[in-house]
Amino acid sequence: MVLATSLDRLFRFCLLPEDIARTVFEMAANDPDSPNWTCALVSKKVQSWVEPILYRQIIFGLDNSRKMPLLHRTLLSSLALSNNYPTSFKKPSFFSKYVKTLSLNVVPNWNALIGLLNACPNIHRLDFHRWMEAHRVDELSVGNLPAWQSFQQLRRLHAPGMLFEPSYRHFRFDTGDHQNTMFRRLTHLELYWDETLRFWSWGSLKSLPCLTHLCISPSPKIEAIELASAQLRGALACFPPTLVVCVFTITSAHWFDNARDLVEDNGSTLDERIVVAVGDDYYWRQIAKGEQGQWLAREAIWRMQSSDLKAAVDNEDAFWKRAEKKVSERRRGQKSRLTYR
């Protein structure tokens, strides 16, 4: 009788049928909590399986911003037409074909960012989760960077309003000059507002055929909140029939003595579809006051405040669902009151 050695007892992964092995690696790469980038190091074949998944969502937050230059180098090598860069395993069309989400709140390398935007025309989601430095906006702005007009598949956009050149601060995508073709299929739009942004042409908002979710998010300064509040009123008359909810974000409510007025003046008193969102910490501190804090529960929802960009991206759908639920509650309440009468 021959005893099996420890080596014989080891499972040989290479003996698995290829379709099963591929499924295992793809599941590991697709882990939403911790995508396994080491899978790409197993072999060239496994790399070809998992990289379309790993690159589907590109997020640069405070914790990984130093990786942007590395990604830029990979991008340059895949696009290289000469021997200036090493041969890339990725085809020139790789980023265009597979990258669907770009999310950033830091820009350590502007050339890398612009190169990435140019290489990813088929993204479904684009997030700039930060306030842009004014002196760098021009080179990236809608109206100056041609890449914006190539985003024909865009569904979700989060961007500072100041990123739009003045002649592009509208929603026209198929008529007139200075078209914003990226709005054609947009379903979710969030515009960050600061105290320098004093104009937006809202009339064309009603022509957006797919827009269901709109958010106006002013910076923490009271001047920005007041400006954004005035713009909200301008947008109200132009809501498209498809719009389900419009959120007005006041994440700095805890700074102001008149926080309740700010919330109540920019919510359901204007339209049942308008919901105010405040920072999660302020919300729960008010709710903990019992009856004294119930006014906030009636009028607003909470929004997570986190420096973890991936967490913010992952929690966005839950945020929108809270806003939708608030609108539904109002409509049920209104229907009940009409029935009672």
Q: pLDDT tens-digit profile of 84-104?
A: 444 446 777 889 999 999 988
Block residue for tokens 């515009």: 191
The C-alpha atoms of residue 88 and residue 93 are separated, in whole angstroms, by 12
pLDDT: which is higher, 277 or 178: 277
Domain boundaries, the chain: 25-54
Q: Tell me what pLDDT residue 83 has.
A: 46
275 with 247: CB under 8 angstroms? yes
**Of the candidate ranges 30-44, 156-170, 188-202, 299-313, the one whose mean pLDDT is the lowest:** 30-44
Which residues lie below 8 Å from residue 311, measured CB to CB, with a gap of 6+? Answer: 304
Please give the model's pTM, rounded to 2 decimal places. Answer: 0.86
For the chain, give the percent of residues with pLDDT over 70.
82
Give the tens place of pLDDT for each residue, 119-140: 999 999 999 876 555 556 778 8
pLDDT in tens, 218-230: 998 899 999 999 9
pLDDT for residue 338: 43
List all residues 6 or more positions away from 220 whose beta carbon is below 8 Å from its beta carbon. Answer: 251, 252, 255
Segment 190-194 shows an average pLDDT of 94
120: helix, coil or strand?
A: coil
Does residue 8 surpass a pLDDT of 60? no
pLDDT by residue (tens digit) across 241-270? 999 999 999 988 778 888 899 999 999 999
